[in-house]
Homo-oligomer: A and B are copies of this chain.
Amino acid sequence: MSDIVFDHKECGSCPIRHRAVCARCETDELEELDSIKYYRSYEAGQPIVWSGDRMDFVASVVTGVASLSQAMEDGRTQMVGLLLPSDFLGRPGRDVAPYDVSAVSNLTLCCFRRKPFETLMTRTPHIAQRLLEMTLDELDAAREWMLILGRKTAREKIASLMAIIARRESSLALKSTGDGMMFELPLTREAMADYLGLTLETVSRQISALKREGIITLEGKRRVIIPDFDRLQIETGDDMDGGMMA
């Protein structure tokens, strides 16, 4: 089951301190949050909650990657969200999970009991402000994803996924090799397929094709090197210049 960690970490040294829901909090607000928080860890592949489950906490992803996905009863599934460090999990005011949530990689959450968090939120506008901002960003990401799912070819979908991960990763620590980029793919082929609305065979074939053409290079199965980001960008089918990425 879930490997619950009770040791209490200091917010001051938290890697997501300045990007998570708590980003705007003052010292006193942080203390209040601190008093209702606890950490929880999951191993790669573990389920966190199932759709329909009661959910009595909300959380920030501290390290690792989690996924939100919807399943149809015949087994088809669609990933509808990928939560990276600093992303928020759960919805204040709702007690039943609408999606399956699971740990894609090893994962640590900073959890807050829902009720105290909700009351705290009504008192401290800084949290609500930040949450609104983050939710609007997620909505934009979801809409970008709708274009990918609805209109892009398999090759464009793979290129888009690579570009998105590379971009997100680069906002943090990105090791660069020459002027290229390198990152660790946090997803299995099946997870990629679930995210992109493809089968895992098609994912594999398109990755092979991009590799064959030198647009990406694999080191082992998971480490990806992008020698020329602009070249990848072209393959996404996106408007190059578009300066909308707010």
Q: Chain A: residues with CB nearer than 8 A to chain B?
A: 51-52, 68, 70, 72-74, 76-78, 80-81, 91, 93-94, 96, 98-99, 125, 128-129, 131-133, 135-136, 138-140, 142-147, 149-151, 196-197, 237-239, 242-244, 246
Contacts and interface: CB of A to CB of B under 8 A. Distances in A.
Given A78-B147, A146-B78, A73 B239 contact: yes
B93 A133 contact: yes
Contacts of A144: 70
9 contacts: A70-B143, A70-B144, A70-B146, A72-B237, A76-B151, A99-B143, A128-B132, A131-B132, A139-B139
A149 B51 contact: no
Nearest to A145: B146
A51 B142 contact: no
Contacts of A98: 140, 244, 246
A192 to B, nearest CB: 12
A134 B78 CA distance: 23
B51 A143 contact: no
B128 A96 contact: no
B78 A150 contact: yes
A219 to B, nearest CB: 29
A230 to B, nearest CB: 16
A244 B52 contact: yes
B78 A151 contact: yes
A143 B246 contact: no
Nearest to A129: B128
Contact of A147 (B80, B94, B131, B132): B80
A126 to B, nearest CB: 11
